[in-house]
């Protein structure tokens, strides 16, 4: 999509990450979360969480419900007070700054548009609250509505709009002040898939254009992978892993992350020896294979992650291949989804893209499973 701005921001090369970083640093705020704890009675919703967010970064908090991601967002917004630890924005502690003086933008899951105001009044609300004069407010509101392609809806009431349109208004409201920080609490979860994907791209582009620091909460892993500079995976009130999306997907730190982000095959194996950055391993069925591994691995028995799309099926045995029996085979359109059972009883999931002439293997038939030397990952 194209963005229209009164003072266009020149983005050389568009998608070049480094240029973006330079550009954003001037606008967004850096956020430091240090040992932040929040309790509700005996329940610890946030357990000594620490996270450093760079100015202008797009960070996603990803986790199942109850993992503490929304709590962390609410602590940052100031709806709740931290019980321990500190949150600093641009180096300044914000614990004692009331919500309305933090100057963040925020998008809510339920949109939270004021039903008694028009779209333009909703978007202009933060500017009125900041005491900005009417002429400037009107100009900026018009500009922001233009960015979100809502210019025609300015006079509508939120109740007259579809869910997707309402959420765009909510997004417009959150960025109208060009805040240094924009918080988004599962903003797309109420929308259907296609709409969700198109708004994902809009948010991503918006982030590039205005350069604020974005903190995005979701339980949808594919959303997190698509949008973020970095993902913080959360579980039970803690951050489990913070990394770039591809690292989270390819080199998760434990079973939880591996299982929560994407589909995964987890194979139990025993360490034979270390060879530089890789380990030589033996499966329960006695097959020997090599896999990249983190520097520190504890114990002799490990779990190896192999993503379903990295597995290769063939009719004939090859080097380091494991025999297996087909349990089920499904045709999903662009992808074939095949489940196979190893002699050890472990079930593996295989995904391969559809190609001409490929036939679905019959359930019960014998196949040979293999993967490349760099396709596995040992979970620490």
Partner 1 sequence: MTQTDAHDGNPGVTPSRSLSERLKDPALLLIPAFAFLGFMYLLPLTDLMQTSVEGDPWWADLQRVLSVPLYFDSLVRTMNIALTVALLCALIGYPAALLIQRTKGITQVLVAMAIILPYFIAILIRTYAWMVLLGRNGPINKFAVWIGAFDEPVGLLFNRGSVLLGMTAVLLPIMVLSIYSSLSRLDPALVRAAMANGAGPLAAFWRVLLPLTLPGVGAGFLLVFVQALGFFITPSLLGGPGDMMFAMHITQQADSITGEGFLQALAVVLLVLTLVVVAIAGRFLGFEFIWGGERKAPMPKAQQNVDRPRPARGGTKAALADRVGWPLLRGLGALNARWGEWTVRVLAICVIATLVLPIVVVMIISFSKASYLTFPPTEYSLRWYEKFFSDRNWMSAFWNSLFIAIMSAGISVTLGATAAMGIVRSSIRGKSTLMLLLVSPIIVPPVVLGLSLYSLFLKFDMVGTYWGLAAAHSIGGIPIVVVIVAAALQGVDRRLEQGAAVHGASPLTVFRKVTLPAIAPGLGAAVFFAFLHSFDELVLTLFLSSPRMKTLPLMLWGDINYQLNPVLAVVSTLEVLLVVGGIILARPVFARARAGT
In the complex, which residues of this chain contact partner 1 (CB under 8 A)? Answer: 77-79, 98-106, 108-110, 112-118, 121, 125-126, 129-130, 155, 157, 159-160, 173-174, 177, 183
Q: How far is the CB of 328 from partner 1 (least distance, A)?
A: 32
Q: How far is the CB of 359 from partner 1 (least distance, A)?
A: 42
Closer CB to partner 1, residue 25 or residue 157?
157
Q: How far is the CB of 127 from partner 1 (least distance, A)?
A: 8
Closer CB to partner 1, residue 112 or residue 352?
112
Rounded to whole angstroms, the Cα distance separating 375 from 378 reads 10
Cβ pair 242, 230 in contact under 8 A: yes
Closer CB to partner 1, residue 123 or residue 369?
123
Where would I find the beta strands (DSSP E) of the chain?
31-40, 43-53, 58-62, 84-89, 92-93, 105-107, 181-185, 213-218, 230-235, 238-243, 265-275, 278-283, 288-292, 301-306, 312-314, 322-331, 335-342, 347-353, 366-370, 376-379
Closer CB to partner 1, residue 5 or residue 130?
130
Closest of 264, 248, 217 to residue 71, by C-alpha: 217
Strands 265-275, 301-306: pairing kind:
antiparallel
Q: How far is the CB of 170 from partner 1 (least distance, A)?
A: 8
Q: How far is the CB of 168 from partner 1 (least distance, A)?
A: 15
Closer CB to partner 1, residue 113 or residue 269?
113
Q: How far is the CB of 42 from partner 1 (least distance, A)?
A: 15
Cβ pair 47, 53 in contact under 8 A: no
Rounded to whole angstroms, the Cα distance separating 178 from 168 reads 15
List phi, psi (to 5°) of 233: -85, 125
Closer CB to partner 1, residue 9 or residue 129?
129
């Amino acid at each position: 999509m194209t963005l229209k701005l009164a003072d266009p921001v020149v983005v050389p090369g568009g998608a070049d990450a480094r240029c973006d970083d330079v550009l954003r640093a001037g606008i967004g705020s850096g956020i430091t979360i240090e040992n932040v704890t929040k309790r509700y009675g005996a329940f610890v919703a946030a357990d000594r969480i620490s996270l450093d967010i760079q100015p202008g970064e797009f960070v996603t908090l990803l986790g199942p419900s109850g993992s503490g991601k929304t709590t962390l967002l609410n602590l940052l917004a100031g709806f709740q007070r931290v019980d321990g630890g500190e949150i600093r924005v641009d180096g300044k502690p914000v614990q004692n700054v009331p919500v309305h003086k933090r100057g963040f933008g925020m998008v809510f899951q339920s949109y939270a548009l004021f039903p008694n105001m028009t779209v333009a009044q909703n978007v202009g609300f933060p500017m009125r609250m900041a005491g900005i004069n009417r002429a400037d407010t009107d100009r900026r509101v018009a500009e922001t509505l233009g960015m979100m392609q809502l210019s025609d809806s300015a006079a509508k009431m939120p109740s007259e709009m579809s869910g997707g349109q309402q959420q765009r208004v909510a997004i417009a409201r959150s960025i109208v002040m060009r805040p240094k920080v924009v918080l988004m609490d599962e903003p797309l979860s109420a929308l259907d898939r296609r709409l969700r994907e198109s708004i994902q791209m809009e948010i991503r582009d918006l982030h590039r254009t205005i350069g604020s620091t974005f903190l995005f909460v979701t339980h949808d892993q594919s959303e997190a992978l698509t949008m973020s500079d970095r993902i913080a995976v959360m579980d039970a009130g803690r951050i489990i892993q913070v990394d770039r999306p591809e690292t989270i997907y390819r080199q998760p730190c434990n079973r939880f992350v591996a299982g929560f982000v994407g589909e995964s095959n987890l194979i139990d194996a025993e360490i034979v020896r270390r060879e530089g950055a890789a380990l030589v391993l033996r499966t329960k069925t006695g097959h020997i294979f090599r896999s990249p591994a983190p520097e520190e691995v504890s114990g002799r028995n490990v779990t190896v992650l192999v993503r379903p799309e990295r597995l290769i099926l063939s009719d004939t045995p090859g080097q380091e291949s494991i025999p297996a029996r087909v349990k089920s085979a499904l045709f999903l359109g662009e992808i074939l989804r095949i489940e196979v059972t190893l002699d050890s009883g472990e079930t593996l999931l295989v995904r391969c893209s559809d190609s001409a002439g490929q036939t679905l293997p019959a359930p019960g038939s014998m196949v040979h499973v293999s993967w490349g030397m760099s396709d596995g990952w040992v979970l620490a």
